[in-house]
Amino acid sequence: MFTVKKMIPLKKKILSAMLILSSISSQAQYPDYTDADVRSALTAFNDHYYSRSKKLYYEKSTKTDKVAAIWTQAIFLDMMQNAWLRSGSRQDSLMFQDILEGNRLQYDNYNWDNGKVWFIYDDIMWWVISLARTYLITGDTRWLDLSESGFERVWSGSKVLKDKGSYDPVRGGMYWAWDQKHPEGSPAPTMGKMACINYPTVIAAMTLFDATGDSAWFHKGLEIYNWAQNNLFDRENGRVADSKHGSPAWKDHVYNQATCMGAATMLYKATGNRRFLNEAILAADYTKDRMSRNGFLHFETGTEQGIYIAIFAQYIIRLIEDGKQEQYLPWLRRNINAGWANRIPSSGVTCKDFARPAPDISLIESYDASAVPALMQVIPPLGKKRK
């Protein structure tokens, strides 16, 4: 007979085996999403949050309260452009062009000097990226012109508002905001340099480099990237600090990890320098292995923070394709499978907490609902290849 002392390790082994089997069963319970699911998820998102009359996304499915935040409209544009690149359909092409028009009307014709419409540097920079990408997709130079003028407004400041611009020529890096009440001569040296302006500046510069071939854009991107890596990046584990006010503030956000790896991948693509690829992989691995709980992408509960995963989708695909790092595909497909399986059955609307059934739609803002459809546009179903 076994003694009690001998039975305890055996019970532990049995319990451990049961937990492993439970984990495997949990992972296997979600069916693989299909091309039809990709279209259904996007249709559900647009039906519930996009106003075809206003040509803008709303925060809530009622479409009667606030439109989604100005910078997130650019991320939704990116998602619809990805949908068109995936499908090639006239419907998707017309829709992303409508979104550009709706935002033009809402935001003073993309007048970067309007200090009430545009009041934070990174709000402008997200649009600089999207407009440069629009030029690459359409060949329409008006979007390139707007992107270049937007970048210059952020980098050097506004002649109308008389702020000094985001770029710090003395200490390096990019400030997050100017003093909205007293813009002249701001930002002050004590204002923060956030990851959410520094890495997007690199992406914007490198996108403009792709669009124009002008090496000045490359050198600006490289300069800001090097500053960010020296001040906001932990080279041991791939963690990105949220900001630097004297010393780095180590708070994890998926979108900062995303723009860091996106910036690094773009520099790798332009130079072939393995250092950039290694840093992109390090940032992606930290997101997957350290930030994600039970393998599910980290999410946050604050307003607008649900869109962080949509930004992650935009740049993980660059690492997968341009960096040839396909090891992330099974993990991402598992996340999509879970999020889609846990959608609201009646509407098809999904939520950012992939591991649990989506709550009532009244509790899901457009930012939160964007995660699954955004990932689906760039991560093809199992056995499929991106066009």
Residues 316, 371, single domain; the answer is: yes
Q: Is residue 26 part of a domain?
A: yes
The neighbour count for residue 211, using CB atoms within 10 Å, is 21
Q: Which residue has the higher pLDDT, 3 or 141?
A: 141
Residue-wise over 225-258: b if at least 16 C-beta within 10 A, else e?
A: bebbbebbbeeeebbbbbbbeeebeeebbbbbbb
Average pLDDT, integer, range 326-348: 98
d(CA 284, CA 286): 5
For residue 386, name the pLDDT band (cuts at 50, 70, 90).
Answer: confident
Q: pLDDT tens-digit profile of 25-81? A: 444 589 999 999 999 999 999 999 999 999 999 999 999 999 999 999 999 999 999
**What pLDDT does 5 receive?**
34
d(CA 258, CA 31): 27
Residues 210, 357, single domain; the answer is: yes
Q: From 83, 107, 46, select the one nearest 377 (Cα to Cα).
A: 83
Q: Which residue has the higher pLDDT, 13 or 302?
A: 302
Residues 199, 253, single domain; the answer is: yes
Contacts of 108 (CB under 8 A, 6+ apart): 114, 117
Residues 244, 312, single domain; the answer is: yes
Q: Is residue 383 part of a domain?
A: no
Residues 51, 154, single domain; the answer is: yes
Residues 325, 352, single domain; the answer is: yes
Q: pLDDT tens-digit profile of 117-169? A: 999 999 999 999 999 999 999 999 999 999 999 999 999 999 999 999 999 99
d(CA 53, CA 100): 13
Q: Is residue 147 part of a domain?
A: yes
Query: 347 pLDDT exceeds 60?
Result: yes
Residue type, 150: G
d(CA 222, CA 240): 17
Residues 324, 177, single domain; the answer is: yes
Average pLDDT, integer, range 174-200: 96
CATH number, position 287: 1.50.10.20
**Domain span including residue 175:** 32-378
Average pLDDT, integer, range 1-29: 41
**What pLDDT does 384 receive?**
87
Residues 88, 26, single domain; the answer is: no
Residues 124, 16, single domain; the answer is: no
Contacts of 271 (CB under 8 A, 6+ apart): none
**What pLDDT does 385 receive?**
86
Q: Is residue 265 part of a domain?
A: yes
Report the range of poorest mean pLDDT among 11-20, 40-49, 117-126, 356-365: 11-20
Kindly give the interhelix angle for 308-321 and 254-271, rounded to the nearest 10 degrees: 30
Residues 51, 21, single domain; the answer is: no
Q: Is residue 230 part of a domain?
A: yes
Query: 21 pLDDT exceeds 80?
Result: no
**What pLDDT does 29 receive?**
86
Residues 332, 261, single domain; the answer is: yes
Q: Is residue 292 part of a domain?
A: yes
For the chain, give the mean pLDDT: 93
Residues 14, 101, single domain; the answer is: no
Q: Is residue 384 part of a domain?
A: no
Query: What sign for the dihedral angle of Cα 351, 353, 356, 360?
Result: negative
Q: Is residue 261 part of a domain?
A: yes
CB 254 within 8 A of CB 309: yes
Query: 171 pLDDT exceeds 70?
Result: yes
Domain count, the chain: 2
Query: 350 pLDDT exceeds 60?
Result: yes
